[in-house]
Structures are given as structure tokens and as C-alpha cells.
Structure 1
Amino acid sequence: MDKIDALDRAILMHLQMDGKSAFTKIASNLQISEGTVRTRVKKMLKNKYFQFIIHMDPASLGLEVQVIIWIQTQLGCQDQVADVLSQLSEVRFVAAFSGQYDLIVQAYFKNKNDLITFVNKQLASIDGIITSDLSIELKQYKDSFSYITNE
């Protein structure tokens, strides 16, 4: 299974709309057998084309402050800094990007004081960081993991 075909996409669209949808319901809607759905889903999971996750609302867990942190690292230190950041419980996302900053980090905090402590203690103690810039989320317009469309 090298690529996702039209049938895989259709199955994924159903799961994207309702991750708890029964394979029998998906099969009925697509007019295929339940075994076909089960086999396709199993292969896509094995090949890591998708994963089942629970997407929670951070605010419902008391995490009221979301920040994006842009980080510039010393030459040769990007992987090391990313590895350290990836271990921190407040950090949800770490990725390398081109441009002025080497890493972009998304993190969540209970309040602004926790953010300040994170920046002044944890972030400041990581070797290899030259500079960082933070933006606090003021309003969220979209937060989605949906990539499959009707095309």
C-alpha cells in the first residue's frame, strides 16, 4: 500500500467525521463489505497513514494560555534543543522550519505565571538557544486535524 486511494480516502472521511463510527456503518454507506473497511483501516494504521487520537480542548483541562514560541538555535544545536523541548510536558508541538527561526513550539499553560516560570527557568536553561519570541493566542478561529476533503 504505497498511497491512499479513493476508497481509503472515503473511509478516512467517515472516520474523520466520527472516529467512533462502526465499520459496519461505514461499509453500508460506501456499499462495500465490513471486512474491506476493517482490512483497509488495519493496513493504514500499520503504515502509519493515520492514528486514532483524542483531541481535547485544553481550556477544559484548565490550560488557559496557549503560546507559539519561535526559537533560533546555535548552528548544530537544532536537534538537541528540539529533543529537550519535546520532553517538556507543557509542550505539545515542536518542529523545524525554514526562515528566521529554526524551531516553532506550541505549548499550553494554566496561567500567565506558569508561562513566565517556563520561559525564565526551563526555556532559559536549555543550551543552544540563541533567542526566542513568544506569541500568546488571543482567539482561536480553527483547530482541526482534518486533511481529507471531498475532492
Structure 2
Amino acid sequence: GVTTDSWSLQEPQRLSRVDNEIVEALCQDGRVSCERLARLTGVSNATARRRVEWLLQNNHVYIRAVVEPASVGLPVEAFLWIRSDPKNVEAVGRELAASPLVRYAAAVAGDYQIVANVTAKDQAALYACVTSAPWVAYAKSIDVSLLLEAFKRGGRMLQPARM
């Protein structure tokens, strides 16, 4: 595996076979022990622990919990497709990133300049987000797509809500 940083001029760092195997195991179970990683990769416990620490410190992996928003009181979820002047993309991105409602925000190429995934406790909170949040002043237009059902989150397939 290769990690890429499209904004720097540095060569991407190539991960070793052991690092790739550790990453694969962490993708399957972020709670896997270093002892188990050592067995899977054929290295010592100390080496497995050092490799995990290196992967984390060098931003090759992030270990996080993926929470279903509705289970923590945020049942309304939407994607915001935002048009902005190029000079305002950075300001909109920073403001979005500061909002606790925003799960993900990215600058994109195409008809829109920014896409964001937001969650809210109700439609009134979502309405406030797209009408009166600080970043709205920098947006030319906002298209809102309500999420009806997520099929996959954080790389994990989800069970269908309806069956």
C-alpha cells in the first residue's frame, strides 16, 4: 500500500509487508491486540506495537469508533452540496469543520466546491445549519440531500433497516 498526500511535493511513503498486514487487521477489528497482530504478521509483540505506534504517529491509520447517528440522538442526516467562490472555499471548509453537526467535509471538483455530511437532532436544527451557520455567508448556493438509509459506514456494511 502507498499513502498519498496530493498537496505535498514529498514522495509518498511505501508501507512494508508487515505494515500492510497490520493495516488490514486493524480494518477488520480496530481493537485487535498487538499480540494478535504479532501472530498474524510473524513479528514479535514489541515490533507489532512499535509498527502500530509508527502507523498512528505518521497518520497512516486512524483508529476511531463509527457510531450510528440516530443512536446518539441525531436521526436527521444530510449531505450538503455547496457552491462557493474559490476564494471562499477555505473559509467555508474551516467553519464547517468547527461545527459539531458536521461529520465530514471536503473540497471537491465539479459543479460544487464543497460537500459535507451533517447530522442533526431534528429538521429544525438542520434548517438552522443551512440558513444561519457562520459559513452560509460565504456560500453561493446549498443543495441539501436527506439521507434515507446508510448501507455502509466507516468501511463496514450495515444491516438494512427495512426487511
Counterpart position of 1:100:
111
Match among 125, 128, 137 for residue 147 of structure 2: 137
Q: Offset of 1:25 from its aligned partner?
A: 1.6
Determine the C-alpha separation between the residues in 2 that align with 1:2 and 1:74.
34
Among 4, 29, 40, the residue aligned to 2:51:
40
Written as runs of structure 1 = structure 2, the 5 A alignment for 1:2-151 is 2-122=13-133, 126-145=136-155
SS of 1:79's partner is helix
Q: Which runs of 5+ in 1 are unaligned?
A: 147-151
Normalising by the residue count of structure 2, what TM-score does the alignment of the two structures yield? 0.81
Number of residue pairs matched by the alignment: 145
Paired AA for residue 111 in structure 2: Q
Going from structure 1 to structure 2, the CA distance change for 1:122 and 1:129 (only over 3 Å counts) comes to: same
Q: Is the 8 A contact 1:84 1:126 kept in 2?
A: no
Tell me by how many angstroms 1:116 deviates. Answer: 1.6
The residue that corresponds to 1:149 in the other structure is none
Query: AA paired with 2:15?
Result: I
CA-to-aligned-CA distance 1:36-59 (integer Å, 9 cap, x gap): 211211111121101221221111
Cα displacement (A) at 1:95:
0.6
Deviation by residue 1:13-46 (Cα, 9 ceiling, x = unmatched): 1122222221112212332211121121111112
Q: Which has the higher contact order (CA 8 A, sep 6+)?
A: 1
| TM-score, normalised via structure 1 length | 0.87
Per the TM alignment, residue 122 of structure 1 is displaced from its structure 2 partner at its CA by 1.7
Task: Give RMSD over aligned pairs.
Answer: 1.8
% of aligned pairs identical? 25
Confirm or deny: 8 A CA contact 2:66 2:154 kept in the other structure: no
